[in-house]
């Protein structure tokens, strides 16, 4: 039998021939691919010092080779090689390898100023200069053109340059040309910059920006690696006036007098007249007389070189959009070169007549405030805090809200959140006056309203002040299962929220026995307290005395100025011991307020405990009232924030409109302790002490 042929006709072995024939195209392709990568990309390490970690592979390989002597030769080599490979890969990964793509193509985004203030011959020179520069462009370069004046428009999207002489057309007639918003042009250029080429921006302008901030936009471009070149178009007007801006308030009330400011710039001394017109919602346009007692309705002005500012006050009429237009007319045609830039406009939204709501809880605290506002001609509407609006739409026509010694418990959480939105979203005013039921003493600490007040209701740690102590004694017997215990836990959390981080707090849960959920200590971590309160369950009998005695002994040991206990239960308990304990607590000036849930609670016993200690008794049928009761009771502890001493406040911010023109600040008999909030909040009056506690902010 003949042997199979092992050579090809050219004499090479068949196996070698087959190998070469198969791998040769692959090898050629791989070589070409590597050449393309080497040409288009650069391989580098962002943190090359980490490559030094790879040197650890040498000693590691040495010790691994010695320690793995029991393995076979093949397994030994594989194990050492794998470990070395892992070290090298980790070193390379920590060095942050990067492959950077090279691209020699450039996109030039040209922002052309099309405002009417630039003479036509200067605009033509700018176009010709750019066209001449583009003649030397590479074939892969691209060009984009953006026209800018009153706004910015794309005249040409990024694309290859076919004819440099027609790359930039003449003026875009769709732009008004009365304003120059260079920053808008650069911003649009950043938006259309292609990611696959290098990018430069060229600003062709006289540099006279009338709106926006081109410097800030240029800084943003630089931060994105896009340089901005400037081709300045220089020219000289012997006489030129530009109406830079008409400044008007965004909002006003019907019948209100608002200030308007005219901002003009001039290259020299010029005289003329400013005329003002108003267009309302009906489309009717009429001229406003801003020259009372003079000839004509226009205001005669004399402009000097540079910026000139003039102010007038005008009344606004019915509600709606009011568009003001101002125009400068020179005294002679030779005093101004371009009349197109001699006007400016502004819009003011005029709302209906507004009013101020003054809320209190006793119909007395807000009486004098309301009288003073009425004397000043302000429309005042008084209401009891319990009748305060509960819909944001009801405050739309309200200019401000005054809370005259209103405690936190008088407003629901929904009303508090609504009031905060009224300030932050609608720009409404909020005034909180001092009193024993306001600020921190009124339980506002941690509330939504506290976030929008200009003072910190929880005074700083360094402030020396009397501390308060509160113990919550909560029944969690079997009869409290379900909604009762859940409402009790929510009420307890609401009370904790009102306390300062320097107050003492303890929480006891009891059935037939008691346990400390929160041992008596300073309230340093409210979140931890909330979590532990939420874990309270229900089950067992009811025995009030041991729990109440433990609360008494704990609160008695504290060095607090105000010591208070809140007892909540729905069941019966032996009364003799509780009554004698209550009498002792009354002697020690420890108050106890009791909350009875339902008709099964021992109402007589709970009422007697509250009466003996000077506390309050609450028979509760509606569980939804529990949080408000606990909030009201927690305010007793915050009485330590009330400072009762006679003093005369000092002015700390005399530039405020509130105290400007006030000849003398009257003496006060006390204040509610608060802290400085910082930020944009400004303390206007403070105590004359070294701490300078806020009095008016």
**CATH number for the domain harbouring residue 166:** 3.40.50.410
pLDDT at 412 over 50: yes
Across 54-58, 554-558, 594-598, least confident range: 54-58
Q: What is the largest CA-CA distance in the chain?
A: 133
Instruction: Tell me which of 409, 434, 456 is where a domain ends.
Output: 456
Residue 10 φ/ψ region, left for φ over 0, alpha for ψ in the -120 to 50 degree band, beta for the rest = alpha
Mean pLDDT on 313-330: 85
Please provide residue 355's backbone torsions phi and psi, each rounded to the nearest 5 degrees: -150, 170
Q: Is the pLDDT of residue 26 over 60?
A: no
Contact 428, 399 (CB under 8 A): yes
Q: Is residue 550 part of a domain?
A: yes
The segment with the largest mean pLDDT, out of 235-244, 463-472, 533-542, 550-559, is 550-559
Q: What's residue 35's pLDDT?
A: 55
pLDDT band at 401 (very low <50, low <70, confident <90, very high): very high
Q: Work out the burial of residue 61: count CB atoms within 10 Å of its CB; fewer than 13 is exposed, 13-18 middle, 19 or more buried.
A: middle
Count of domains for the chain: 5
Q: Quote the pLDDT of residue 519.
A: 92
The SS3 call for residue 455 is strand
Same-domain pairing of 635 and 573? yes
CA 29, 33, 34: angle at the middle one, nearest 5?
A: 120
Give me the domain span that covers residue 320. Answer: 241-351
Residues 313, 328, single domain; the answer is yes
- State residue 3's pLDDT score: 40
pLDDT tier, 7 (very low <50, low <70, confident <90, very high otherwise):
very low
**CA–CA separation, 468 vs 551, rounded Å?**
14
67 and 211 both lie in a single domain: no
Looking at 351, 374, 397, which one is the last position of a domain?
A: 351
Q: What mean pLDDT comes out for the span 388-400?
A: 83
pLDDT at residue 31 is higher than 80: no
- Does 522 share its domain with 566? yes
Q: What is the DSSP string of 99-142?
A: EEEP---EEEEEEEE--TTS-HHHHHHHHHHHHHHHTT--TT-E
Tell how strand 152-160 and strand 142-148 pair up.
antiparallel
If DSSP codes are grouped into helix, strand and coil, which group holds residue 269?
coil
Examine the pLDDT at 275 and tell me if it is beyond 70.
yes
Distance of alpha carbon 194 from alpha carbon 147, whole angstroms: 18
In the structure encoding, which two tokens stand for residue 404, read together?
Answer: 């005259």
Instruction: Tell me: do 393 and 493 sit in the same domain.
Output: no
Position 5 pLDDT exceeds 70: no
Q: What is the pLDDT of residue 8?
A: 42
Q: DSSP secondary-structure letter at 194?
A: -
Closest CA to 152 of 118, 112, 210: 112
615: which 2 tokens?
A: 């506390």
- Dump the DSSP string for 527-581: HHHHHHHHT----S---HHHHHHHHHHHHHHS--SEEEEEEEESS----HHHHHH
Q: Give the pLDDT mean for 261-279.
A: 89
Is residue 492 within 8 Å of residue 517, measured between CB atoms?
A: no
Q: Are residues 344 and 419 in the same domain?
A: no
Judgement on whether residues 495 and 601 belong to the same structural domain of the protein: yes
Q: What are phi and psi of 152, to 5 degrees?
A: -125, 135
Distance of CA 55 to the CA centre of its chain: 50
Task: Point out the least confidently predicted range of 170-184, 299-313, 572-586.
Answer: 170-184
Q: What is the DSSP string of 232-258?
A: E-----SS-EEEEEEE--SEEETT-EE
Indicate if the pLDDT at residue 310 is higher than 70.
yes
């Amino acid at each position: 039998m003949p042997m199979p042929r092992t050579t090809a006709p050219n004499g090479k072995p068949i196996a070698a021939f087959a190998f070469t024939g198969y791998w040769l195209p692959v090898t050629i392709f791989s070589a070409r691919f590597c050449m393309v990568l080497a040409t288009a990309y650069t391989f580098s390490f962002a943190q090359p010092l980490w490559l030094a970690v790879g040197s650890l592979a040498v000693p590691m390989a040495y010790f691994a080779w010695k320690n793995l002597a029991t393995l076979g030769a093949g397994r030994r080599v594989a194990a050492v090689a794998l470990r070395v490979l892992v070290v090298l890969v980790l070193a390379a990964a920590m060095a942050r390898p990067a492959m950077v793509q090279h691209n020699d193509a450039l996109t030039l985004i040209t922002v052309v100023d099309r405002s009417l203030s630039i003479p036509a011959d200067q605009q033509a020179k700018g176009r010709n200069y750019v066209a001449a520069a583009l003649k030397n462009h590479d074939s892969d370069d691209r060009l984009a053109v953006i026209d800018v004046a009153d706004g910015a428009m794309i005249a040409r999207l990024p694309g290859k340059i076919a004819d440099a002489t027609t790359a930039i057309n003449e003026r875009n007639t769709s732009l008004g040309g009365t304003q120059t918003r260079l920053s808008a042009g650069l911003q649009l250029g950043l938006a259309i910059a292609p990611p696959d080429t290098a990018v430069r921006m060229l600003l062709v302008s006289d540099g006279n920006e009338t709106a926006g901030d081109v410097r800030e936009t240029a800084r943003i471009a630089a931060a994105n690696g896009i340089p901005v070149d400037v081709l300045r178009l220089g020219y000289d007007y012997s006489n030129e006036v530009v109406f830079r801006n008409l400044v008007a308030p965004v909002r006003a009330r019907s019948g209100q007098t608002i200030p308007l400011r005219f901002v003009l710039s001039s290259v020299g001394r010029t005289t003329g007249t400013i005329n003002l017109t108003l267009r309302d919602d009906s489309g009717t346009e009429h001229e406003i007389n801003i020259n009372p007692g003079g000839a004509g309705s226009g205001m005669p002005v004399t402009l000097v070189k540079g910026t000139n500012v003039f102010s007038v006050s005008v009344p606004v009429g019915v509600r709606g959009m009011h568009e003001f237009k101002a125009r400068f007319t020179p005294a002679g045609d030779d005093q101004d070169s371009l009349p197109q830039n001699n006007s400016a406009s502004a819009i003011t939204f005029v709302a209906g007549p507004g009013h101020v709501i003054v809320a209190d809880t006793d119909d007395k605290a807000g009486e004098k405030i309301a009288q003073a506002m009425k004397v000043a001609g302000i429309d005042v509407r008084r209401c009891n805090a319990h009748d305060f609006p509960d819909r944001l739409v009801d405050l739309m026509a309200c200019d401000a809200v005054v809370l005259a010694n209103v405690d936190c418990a008088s407003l629901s959480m929904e009303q508090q959140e609504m009031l905060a939105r009224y300030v932050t979203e609608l720009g409404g005013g909020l005034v909180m006056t001092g009193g024993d039921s306001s600020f921190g003493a009124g339980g506002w600490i941690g509330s939504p309203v506290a976030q929008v007040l200009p003072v910190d209701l929880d005074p700083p740690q360094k402030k020396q002040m009397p501390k308060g102590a509160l113990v919550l004694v909560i029944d969690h017997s079997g009869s409290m299962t379900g909604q009762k215990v859940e409402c009790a836990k929510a009420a307890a959390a609401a009370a904790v929220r009102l306390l300062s981080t320097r107050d003492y707090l303890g929480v006891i849960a009891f059935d037939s026995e008691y346990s400390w959920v929160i041992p008596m200590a300073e309230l340093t971590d409210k979140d931890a307290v909330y979590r532990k309160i939420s874990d309270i369950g229900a089950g067992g009998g009811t025995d009030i005395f041991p729990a109440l005695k433990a609360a008494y002994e704990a609160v008695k040991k504290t060095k607090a100025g105000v010591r208070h206990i809140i007892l909540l239960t729905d069941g019966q308990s032996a009364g003799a011991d509780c009554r004698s304990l209550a009498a002792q607590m009354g002697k020690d000036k420890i108050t106890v307020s009791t909350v009875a849930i339902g008709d099964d609670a021992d109402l007589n016993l709970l009422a007697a405990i509250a009466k003996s200690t000077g506390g309050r008794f609450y028979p509760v049928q509606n569980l939804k009232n529990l949080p408000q009761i606990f909030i009201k009771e927690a305010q007793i502890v915050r009485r330590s924030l009330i400072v009762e001493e006679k003093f005369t406040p000092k002015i700390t911010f005399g530039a405020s409109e509130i105290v400007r023109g006030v000849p003398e600040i009257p003496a006060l008999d006390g204040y509610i302790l608060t802290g400085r909030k910082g930020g944009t909040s400004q303390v206007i009056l403070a105590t004359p002490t070294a701490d300078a506690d806020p009095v008016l902010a």
